[in-house]
């Protein structure tokens, strides 16, 4: 399995602290040694870094953990390969263009091989993972249902949740997705989030001896939400998503949420 990390904020914010914790799980405190990637939105632009090497040993990952790249929306992933070889083209997050926006996607879990039989129309995988095939299928569905970017995302968000539920029926499908302003977080088995806002306090990472006083590096108006497969800190209260639940964040706040439409265990029984 893999691990996910996402961030939604109302002001450009760096993710150095959280990424420092995540990268430890890529070979030191966790088994996710088969590559890592991270993508930062800057307006409609997407600045991304990928490396098929373990994040804990990667000089590029160390640069990301020390260099404060500021963004309002971030998606990151560390990989433990189960489908597809360990190589650059199989390294998340993946991205494609739709409506003149660069969509970014990362997946944690494994889907039944039947997903490879789901037809693709416009978007084609570059690598060989079930994750990228699912992403291409998802964007195909969105492109067909919404040929143009809607002004109101309400119907789109509900539609994405329906598509995610179809994918969840094929196995484990924890997902982060964004087109730059909205961060979609879908839970199949395990995903947690925390929103930090004034009054800010101190946070300590679980995977290494690093702590930060957010009150010293923020303003009273800052709002920052971090999403992760497993909570990254040991002294804060994270919220867990339920299987089948999707939460959409904009500017660090919950824009909308959706609950499961089926029980995966009963359906598989």
Residues involved in catalysis: 2
Stated as kind and residue range, the H or E segment containing 144 is helix 130-145
Cβ–Cβ under 8 Å, residues 142 and 134: no
Structure tokens at 258: 């959706």
- Matching residue, tokens 């189960």: 82
Cα–Cα distance measured from residue 228 to residue 208, given in angstroms and rounded to the nearest whole number: 16
Cα–Cα distance measured from residue 87 to residue 69, given in angstroms and rounded to the nearest whole number: 25
Cβ–Cβ under 8 Å, residues 171 and 111: yes
DSSP 19: H
């Amino acid at each position: 399995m893999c691990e996910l990390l996402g961030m939604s904020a109302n002001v450009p914010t760096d993710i150095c602290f959280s990424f420092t914790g995540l990268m430890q799980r890529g070979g030191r405190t966790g088994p996710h040694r088969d590559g890592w990637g991270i993508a930062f939105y800057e307006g409609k632009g997407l600045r991304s870094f990928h490396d098929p090497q373990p994040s804990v040993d990667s000089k590029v990952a160390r640069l990301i953990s020390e260099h404060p790249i500021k963004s309002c929306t971030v998606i990151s992933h560390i990989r433990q390969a189960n489908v597809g070889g360990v190589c650059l083209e199989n390294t998340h997050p993946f991205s494609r263009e739709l409506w003149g926006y660069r969509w970014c996607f990362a997946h944690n879990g494994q889907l039944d091989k039947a997903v490879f039989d789901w037809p693709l129309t416009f978007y084609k995988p570059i690598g060989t993972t079930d994750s990228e095939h699912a992403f291409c299928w998802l964007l195909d569905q969105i492109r067909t249902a919404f040929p143009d970017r809607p002004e109101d995302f309400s119907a789109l968000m509900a539609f994405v949740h329906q598509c995610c539920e179809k994918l969840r029926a094929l196995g484990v499908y924890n997902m982060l997705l964004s087109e730059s302003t909205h961060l979609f977080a879908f839970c199949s088995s395990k995903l947690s989030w925390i929103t930090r806002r004034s009054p800010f306090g101190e946070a300590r990472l679980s995977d290494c001896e690093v702590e930060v006083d957010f009150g010293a590096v923020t303003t009273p108006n800052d709002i920052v939400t971090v999403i992760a497969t497993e909570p990254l800190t040991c002294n804060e209260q994270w919220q867990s998503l339920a299987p089948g639940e999707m939460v959409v964040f904009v500017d660090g706040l919950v824009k909308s949420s959706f609950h499961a439409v089926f029980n995966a265990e009963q359906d598989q029984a």
